[in-house]
């Protein structure tokens, strides 16, 4: 059986699935995907960005392993400090389903200037609520809402979260809601 692979720029407000709650927006609205398609990993409803889709379960297992880097850009509340970035890099304690967990070391850096993303479909907030900043974080693990929890743990809650890279695959200029079929993921 020949497997098929896709990249999608998941918009804010959509679930990373094809079936489920009738009132929720799902990925099947963007393209006529083949039978057996699955999202590799998840982006929660409030997150955006690069999502890989495949009909190949082995490829899905590989990408979800701790061997593959995932990079996220996040707009955070406030001007992120060097100390907060250092804490992210060495690992922070977060709660996952009422269990305390220390995250693995990762790569984190301030993004200046801010990335040129299109405005989100739902406004985040306006300038009268104070300054915001952008930070990049690259990790290989992926616990439930981990990136958001890590930033909150260092005092800078996430306002907007966009996954920009999985392994060597970049979101690039794929428009919000855009779908691109690829021969393989090159992993």
Percent of the chain with pLDDT over 90: 56
User: Which tokens hold the place of 15?
Assistant: 């679930």
- Band the pLDDT of 1: cuts 50, 70, 90: low
Residues in the chain, how many? 187
Residue 70, C-beta contacts closer than 8 angstroms, at least 6 positions apart: 41, 138, 139, 140, 142, 163, 165, 166
| d(C-alpha 166, C-alpha 171), whole Å | 9
Q: Which domains are seen in the chain, by residue range?
A: 5-65+168-182 (3.30.70.580), 70-166 (3.30.70.1560)
Confidence grade of residue 22 (pLDDT, cut at 50, 70, 90): confident
Q: Which residues contact 173 (CB under 8 A, 6 or more apart)?
A: none
What is the DSSP secondary structure assignment for residue 23, as one 8-state letter? T
pLDDT in tens, 73-128: 999 999 999 999 999 999 999 987 788 889 999 999 999 999 999 888 777 776 67
Q: What number is the average pLDDT over the span 55-66?
A: 79
- With a CB cutoff of 8 Å and minimum separation 6, the contacts of 176 are 9, 11, 48, 118, 121
Cβ atoms of 91 and 154 within 8 Å: the answer is no
**Would you state the pLDDT for residue 96?**
75
Got the DSSP string for 37-93? -EEES---TT-EEEEEEES-HHHHHHHHSTTS-EEEEEEEES---HHHHHHHHH--E
β-bridge mates for residue 72, sequence order: 137, 163
The fraction of the chain above a pLDDT of 70, given in percent, is 96
User: Region 150-154: what's the mean pLDDT?
Assistant: 92
- When mean pLDDT is compared across 18-22, 40-44, 83-87, the lowest value belongs to 18-22
Average pLDDT of the chain to the nearest whole number: 89
Mean pLDDT of 43-62: 89
Mean pLDDT, range 153-171, rounded to an integer = 94
Residue 74: name the closest of 95, 48, 106 by CA. Answer: 48
- Catalytic residues, by residue number, are 44
Question: Does the structure show a pLDDT above 70 at 139?
Answer: yes
């Amino acid at each position: 059986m020949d497997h098929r692979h896709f990249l999608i720029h998941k918009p804010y407000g959509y679930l990373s699935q094809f079936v489920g709650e009738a009132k929720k927006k799902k990925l099947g609205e963007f393209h006529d995907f083949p039978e057996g398609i699955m999202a590799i990993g998840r982006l929660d409803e409030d997150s955006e960005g690069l999502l890989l889709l495949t009909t190949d379960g082995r490829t899905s297992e590989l990408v979800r392993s701790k061997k593959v880097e995932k990079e996220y850009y996040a707009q955070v509340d406030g001007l992120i400090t060097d100390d907060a970035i250092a804490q992210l890099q060495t690992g922070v304690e977060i709660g996952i389903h009422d269990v305390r967990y220390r995250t693995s070391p990762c790569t984190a850096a301030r993004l200046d200037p801010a990335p040129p993303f299109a405005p989100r479909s739902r406004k985040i907030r306006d300038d009268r609520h104070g300054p915001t900043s952008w930070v990049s974080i690259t990790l290989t693990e992926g616990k439930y809402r981990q990136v958001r929890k890590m930033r909150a743990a260092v005092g800078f809650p996430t306002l907007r979260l966009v996954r920009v890279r999985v392994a060597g695959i970049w979101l690039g200029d794929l428009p919000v809601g855009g779908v691109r079929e690829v021969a393989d993921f090159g992993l």
